[in-house]
Amino acid sequence: MKKSFVFFFFLVSVFGIAQELMSPNGNFKMKFYLLEDGTPTYQLFYHNTEIIKRSKLGLELKNDTKSLLNDFQLADSKTASFDETWKPVWGEETKIRNHYNELAVTLQQRQTDRKIIIKFRLFDDGLGFRYEFPEQKNLVYFVVKEERTEFAMTGDHTAFWIPGDYDTQEYDYTESKLSEIRKLFRGAVTENASQQQFSDTGVQTSLMMKTTNGIYINIHEAALINYSCMHLNLDDKNFVFQSHLTPDAKGDKGYLQAPCVSPWRTIIVSNDARYILASRMTLNLNEPCKIEDTSWIKPVKYVGVWWEMITGKSAWAYTDDVQAVQLGVTDYTKVKQSPKHAANTKHVKEYIDFAAQHGFDAVLVEGWNEGWEDWFGKSKDYVFDFITPYPDFNVQELHKYAASKGIKMIMHHETSGSTRNYERHMDKAYQFMKDNGYDAVKSGYVGNILPRGEHHYSQWINNHYQYSIEKAADYKIMVNAHEAVRPTGICRTYPNLIGNESARGTEFQAFGGSKPNHTTILPFTRLMGGPMDYTPGIFEMNISKLNPNNNSHVNTTLANQLGLYVVMYSPLQMAADLPEHYNQFLDAFQFIKDVPVEWEKSVYLEAEPGYYTTIARKDKNSNDWFVGNSNGLKERVSEINLDFLDKGKKYEATIYADAKNADYKTNPQAYTISKQKVTQKSKLSINTKIAGGFGISIKEIK
């Protein structure tokens, strides 16, 4: 680690004094200005092209005669340079370089004698900045009415957006011009278990855009801790995004106590979409790992008793006879078991057998605990206790059985959004896990939040997710939180957060389907903040075969599903389909069995949001490589240069690709498997269908 002062420039402009900062390699330049009325602004250039026009910075406070918006003068200005390489506990690569130049401007508000610092970090892949509120007399406790950060675009860019919403992120992405968002907005809002929009031009981060000049711009946030999650509200006349924080039950956006800081606002920019995916800015803007012993944190490949419930083939609920559960009162031993209840000991053993047979690490089981008969939509406070299994689920027996086969069980804690109830039971629930051999939990927050009036992404509830992660770490438990706030790189600091859903996952393929190019966008949006438990691996696309009442169709080819194991980076990967479907295609299933969940490095071969993504990754524990592709809206030939392979080594590549007659709608299971010898000099040319893709395993020949 080295930290040293670097040059920066003072410019005198018509707007007053300006500071200028360059990125380490000079690609980026940012300017900080104070307007005449003392409003702070910033501007961002990439290769001398303006990316962010002069944009205002500041916060509006509640019950405060003077907000933190203007009347500032420059009290101090400091620059620094930082260059450090650190090792993540898990990740897309084993070493990450954190290299930036920093500008910290201290602003003094004349009338109030308050100080804030705006800290800019300019990397070679973009800009991060945040508000810092140092300890001082005149600004101690304050309530944020709204953060007023602007991101002024230079034109009517193409955006890949989902509707801004306080309670869900599970929308399909819309590709449109910024000017088209308003008219497309209502159509983009599809039904969800809990949702509340705030503006017909409100969108979520991470927001991916592309200019007419082919520059890619990604806006998100990093290190969202003790703060409300940021949306972007577009002024679509001027193409200016304004930050819009998620409110609490009273409509307030945040309660802060100085000294404190806001999350980082990030702008990642490149003229090559691959470098957006390669950016580590989000992680770099988070604090180093705070867990001392991380030996217990291990990537996981798993199967689960889950897809059969999602499709409606099976059920979470134990019985159809109980209308309204009273935990501790309802006697499940006296009611009729539903034949659809999947989380029964016998059936779970079949999954354990399958997992052991095929080399998986773990088995997730949902619907194992009392309460599923009326868990959703009832605003139930005491909805689950997280420790009481249904009569047909023998925790101890399954623990022993799984352990005897080298399989771990993955716990499931659906909270139904009832956060107080979860916190009340958390210690016992985590201890129950440890007592019964579980060291990872999938948590869920489906439905409206309790306490009522709060939202999934408000400061109060973000604080709950963080509490859960930290408490889980105390118990050495890994967390995979579904429906929680979108990740912002916190997994660097708390690497036991091994996954999140926080976007439209594979489950929606059984809820009517997702767009065919969905997974060509997710790496540029949702995954910018951290890994997603996307649950790929669906081999049977016709859901009515599982459940005659469900006419959903999985909008991808089978080969695409394989490619996702590489494209959608996660230390937690599921093979989501039923064992019986894998048994029908064991040759294709071999790729899922082979693909690792720990990587040494990643190479981004091809990328265009909405259209294609091809990534190569090297196994952490061997010299093998794996390549994955997800293809979007157009059939395409993927041209791959294998120059990332080790010089002089020989490999055998096994290519799992779309068959010529493959079609995601009519013939999704048509794939080919071919093998060929390859070296560093090889080039591959692979045809990919709409919503198609491929997976390649490249194994060293010794």
Biggest CA-to-CA distance, the chain? 81
Torsional sign, CA 598, 600, 605, 610: positive
Q: Is 143 in the site for a copy of itself (CB under 8 A)?
A: yes
Q: Is 423 in the site for a copy of itself (CB under 8 A)?
A: yes
550, 308 Cβ separation under 8 angstroms: no
Task: Name the strand (E) or helix (H) holding 276.
Answer: helix 273-278
Q: Between 336 and 378, whose beta carbon lies closer to a copy of itself?
A: 378
Q: Tokens in use for 110?
A: 């004349």
Q: Is 250 in the site for a copy of itself (CB under 8 A)?
A: yes
Which residue is it, tokens 């299933």? 589
Q: Between 467 and 475, whose beta carbon lies closer to a copy of itself?
A: 467
Pick one of 4, 48, 141, 333: the residue that binds a copy of itself (CB under 8 A): 141
Q: CB-based burial of residue 292 (10 Å sphere; 0-12 exposed, 13-18 middle, 19+ buried)?
A: exposed
Q: Between 420 and 634, whose beta carbon lies closer to a copy of itself?
A: 420
Pick one of 20, 167, 252, 483: the residue that binds a copy of itself (CB under 8 A): 252
509, 310 Cβ separation under 8 angstroms: no
Q: Between 302 and 460, whose beta carbon lies closer to a copy of itself?
A: 460
Q: Is 138 in the site for a copy of itself (CB under 8 A)?
A: no
Closest CA to 236 of 152, 292, 165: 152
Pick one of 463, 667, 669, 687: the residue that binds a copy of itself (CB under 8 A): 463
Pick one of 4, 48, 63, 323: the residue that binds a copy of itself (CB under 8 A): 323
Q: Between 64 and 71, whose beta carbon lies closer to a copy of itself?
A: 64
- Count of residues in contact with a copy of itself, rule CB under 8 A: 32
Q: Shortest distance, CB of residue 557 to a copy of itself, whole angstroms? A: 43
DSSP state, residue 334:
G
Phi/psi region, residue 660 (left: phi>0; alpha: psi -120 to 50; beta: rest), is alpha
Q: Is 134 in the site for a copy of itself (CB under 8 A)?
A: no
Q: Is 370 in the site for a copy of itself (CB under 8 A)?
A: no
Q: Is 702 in the site for a copy of itself (CB under 8 A)?
A: no
**How far is 206 from 220, CA to CA, in rounded Å?**
4
Contact map string, positions 443 to 462, toward a copy of itself, x by CB under 8 A: --------xxxx-----x--
Q: Tokens in use for 204?
A: 């979520």
**How far is 550 from 345, CA to CA, in rounded Å?**
26
Q: Kindly indicate which of the ranges 106-114, 287-295, 318-326, 560-568 contains the residues binding a copy of itself, using the contact rule CB under 8 A.
A: 318-326
Pick one of 212, 379, 542, 544: the residue that binds a copy of itself (CB under 8 A): 379
Q: Tokens in use for 207?
A: 């927001």
DSSP state, residue 151:
E
Q: Shortest distance, CB of residue 160 to a copy of itself, whole angstroms? A: 34
Which residue is it, tokens 């300017």? 31
40-46, strands of its sheet edge to edge: 9-13, 16-22, 28-34, 40-46, 49-56, 150-152, 240-245, 230-235, 202-204
Q: Shortest distance, CB of residue 378 to a copy of itself, whole angstroms? A: 5
Active site residues per annotation? 507
Contact positions with a copy of itself (CB under 8 A) in 402-421? 420
Site residues for a copy of itself per CB under 8 A: 135, 137, 140-141, 143, 248-250, 252, 255, 257-259, 323-324, 326, 374, 378-381, 420, 423-424, 427, 451-454, 460, 463, 467
